[in-house]
Structure 1
Amino acid sequence: MSSTNQPTPEQFEVIKAVADFSAKPMRSPVLRTPDEHGMAYTDVFFPAIDGVPLEAWYIPAPSDSNLLIIANHPLPMNRYGLAGHLEPWDVMDPTEINFLFELKHLHDAGYNILTYDLRNLGRSGSGGNGACGVGRYEWRDCVGAKQYVDNHPELSKMKVGLLSRCTGGNAQYEAISRHPELFRNVSCMVSPLVVSMEVFTKNYANSVLQGSGEFPEIIDFEQIKAGGLKNSEMTPHLFAKDIFMPTLIVQVRGDKWTEDSDGEKTYELLGAKEKDFFWIEGTTRRWVGYNYFGQHPERLIGWFDKYMK
């Protein structure tokens, strides 16, 4: 980008909106609960490693089980998903995302589930003046969740798998990199739609208004101004080499908001000896991809079953 090249006023409005989404996302409501999907649950809460209070559900398996999935979520969602079918949360894609469908599949397959809201999202507390790091602050929540499990009289005896989606996946990678000792006993991880924000902000901005994504320095500056980080700082590539447990990477092929090469690079960088890559086909819409395992749980359950049962 040349120093003389500047966005049009319309492009700058898109840039500001994208920067605000990345740095200070709007909270979305926890619209549905596990009992609406036939699952008993308990509200639980615990601190992140830096003290931010986190809200969670514990969903026990229907019969005695020593298997536990710790699940987290993307931006700007929460443990339920996203009320994307309602205003004002429909702005990116007017689609409801409901993770309770895939959690029900895991529940019925014999897994206990702990699923929590990341900081500044859902019903969890605020941290860092409300700023989002797309993993760079949220790793502290992943550590807090694992410490909660390890200190719990019953959960600490269970075999653990991780379901770490998008921003939650980026955060999980950094948590594992910073505190490998905490995660040594984790059996495996499923890692849907982790993303590098350089790729996402460019492609998403261009999908709203062509050319808006071609000003990376301006997007970075607007994010920093809003309390966030530069896009180059927000990528799973920084920590993927430290992932040692069997990991399944999941991406939407042809996702119009990212690039296939970004997910492929994450996969190549993974330090895990046992790893696999699964493409969601038949859509280029990321929001549709988030609902995929709720409708087609075979690969999700298959990966956990392989390494946990």
Structure 2
Amino acid sequence: MFGNMIANMMVKPFQSPLFDSPANYGLEYENVEFKARDDVTIRGWLIKSGTDRVIIQSHFGVQCNRAGYSPDGKGLIKPWKQDIPFLRQAKYLSDNGYSVLMYDLRGHGESDIGTTPWVSWGPEEAKHVIAAVDYISKHPDYRDASLGLLSICMGSASTTYAYGLDDGLRKYPGIKAMIAVQPLLYSYFVDAFGMPGFLQRAGSKVTAERLGFDLNTRSFLPDARQITVPTMVVQNKNDPWTNLEMVKEYYDNLAVEKEMKWLDIEKSRFAAYDFVGREPEKLFGWFDRHMMAKN
């Protein structure tokens, strides 16, 4: 019983329905869908501004989707009391000449369930990051555009795994920059979360049966060495649900131009997710610097 309960908290898909729309922000957009290599249909919004630069946003996992986070339906204990609308940062980017692809990872929002019907914390979702990049790279309006990756939490893990694949993101020269917001390994999360050992073990046993591998043994940290574009890492130093040494190891493994952006904000992991849209001007100069329009 405990194992199923913990596993459902961590890997059960579709825990956050879509709750927002670009229309609420006056943004020009279209609903899009595309297929990943495993034949999973991915759905999202393509917010249309300039054609020279496109940001591809990959959201965090389980309790999130392309629209962001909403506390509605999250039970009595909520990690954040207000909506965190990711369309705030999309609005900022659009106003500054970027188009934005916001999509739901497999098992989230309106995308289809994966061939592995559970959230995998990155290894399976990597295929769908690649699919999003491939979709934009082949889009007739954006074939010559510079691409930037805004990858949040599990989105960062998925993107990093996607760089580690031989046929992954390294083959897309259009990608010019990345911002990785609070990359997180499952094992460090459950430790920092304060979950008793017997619950960790019970949950891990069930998730391993569901996924076919042990989440505690999978790591994207070595794959950070395969990232080929300038990368900013963003981390709230007051985040109680992570291990800051793990974040430093991720950063140290990057073999590209890089910057570590430490935030000193509220003692909550979700505070950094909120910060991205609340103060985007403090982060997105990284994209401006590395994604100038081509001559």
| Structure-2-length-normalised TM-score | 0.91
Aligned mates of 2:151, 2:112 — CA distance in 1:
20
1:182 aligns to what? 171
Alignment equivalent of 1:243, drawn from 227, 247, 261: 227
Cα distance change, pair 120–245 in 1 and its aligned pair in 2 (3 A): same
1:256 aligns to what? 240
Q: Secondary structure of the equivalent of 1:195?
A: coil
Q: Deviations over 1:28-79 (max 9, x none)?
A: 1110001111212100000112110000100012xx4411111110012110
> Is the counterpart of residue 285 in structure 1 residue 273 in structure 2?
no
- Residue segments in structure 1 that go unaligned for 5+ positions in a row: 1-11
> Is the counterpart of residue 164 in structure 1 residue 151 in structure 2?
yes
1:8 aligns to what? none
Equivalent pair of 1:202/1:214 in contact (CA under 8 Å): no
2:22 aligns to what? 34
> Is the counterpart of residue 224 in structure 1 residue 188 in structure 2?
no
Cα distance change, pair 212–45 in 1 and its aligned pair in 2 (3 A): same
Equivalent pair of 2:145/2:174 in contact (CA under 8 Å): no
- Residue segments in structure 2 that go unaligned for 5+ positions in a row: none
Amino acid at match of 1:252: N
The CA deviation at 1:168 is: 1.2
The CA deviation at 1:180 is: 4.3
Equivalent pair of 2:153/2:183 in contact (CA under 8 Å): yes
1:116 aligns to what? 103
Structure of greater Rg: 1
The CA deviation at 1:216 is: 4.6
The equivalences for 1:71-220 within 5 A come to: 71-76=57-62, 77-84=64-71, 86-88=72-74, 91-95=77-81, 96-178=83-165, 179-204=168-193, 206=194, 212-213=196-197, 216-220=200-204
Amino acid at match of 2:128: D
Aligned mates of 2:76, 2:177 — CA distance in 1:
33
1:5 aligns to what? none
The CA deviation at 1:159 is: 1.0
Cα distance change, pair 233–107 in 1 and its aligned pair in 2 (3 A): farther
RMSD: 2.0
The CA deviation at 1:101 is: 0.9
- Counting matched residue pairs gives 288
The CA deviation at 1:257 is: 1.0
The CA deviation at 1:233 is: 3.6
The CA deviation at 1:125 is: 0.4
The CA deviation at 1:176 is: 1.7
1:70 aligns to what? 56
Cα distance change, pair 180–65 in 1 and its aligned pair in 2 (3 A): closer
Aligned mates of 2:137, 2:35 — CA distance in 1:
13
Amino acid at match of 1:29: P
> Is the counterpart of residue 300 in structure 1 residue 244 in structure 2?
no
Equivalent pair of 2:51/2:142 in contact (CA under 8 Å): no
